[in-house]
Amino acid sequence: MTSNEDKINSIPIWNGSIDIKPLEGGITNLNYIVQDSEKKVVVRLGSDIPEHLVFRQNEILVSKAAYEIGTSPKLIHNEPGILVIDFIESKTLDPQGVRNNLERIIPVIKKIHKSIPMKLDGQPPLFWVFYVIKYYANFLLKNESNHIPIISELLEKSDRLEILSSPRYIVFCHNDLLAANFLDDGSKIWVVDWEYGGFNDPLFDLGGLASNNDFDRQQEEQLLEIYYEKKPSSDFFIKYKAMKTASLLRETMWSMVSEITSKLDFDYGEYTSENLTKFNEAFESMR
Cβ 191 vs Cβ 70: under 8 Å: no
- Predicted local distance difference test score (pLDDT) of residue 122: 86
Checking if the pLDDT of 98 tops 70, the result is: yes
Of the CA atoms within 13 Å of residue 165, those in its CB half-sphere come to: 26
Q: CA-to-CA distance for 171 and 222, rounded, in angstroms?
A: 21
Q: What is the mean pLDDT of the chain?
A: 95
- Predicted local distance difference test score (pLDDT) of residue 2: 75
Q: Sketch the domain layout of the chain as residue ranges.
A: 3-86, 91-284
Q: CA-to-CA distance for 217 and 271, rounded, in angstroms?
A: 24
Per-residue b or e along 227-259, where b marks 16 or more CB atoms closer than 10 Å to that residue's CB:
beeeebeeeebebbbbbbbbbbbbbbbbbbbbb
Peptide bond into 202 cis (omega under 30): no
- Predicted local distance difference test score (pLDDT) of residue 1: 54
CATH 3.30.200.20 fits 3-86, yes or no: yes
Above pLDDT 90, what percent of the chain?
Answer: 90
Checking if the pLDDT of 163 tops 60, the result is: yes
β-strand partners of 190 = 183
Domains 3-86 and 91-284 in one fold: no
pTM for this model (two decimals): 0.92
Q: CA-to-CA distance for 106 and 102, rounded, in angstroms?
A: 6
Domain made up of 91-284: CATH architecture: Alpha-Beta Complex (3.90)
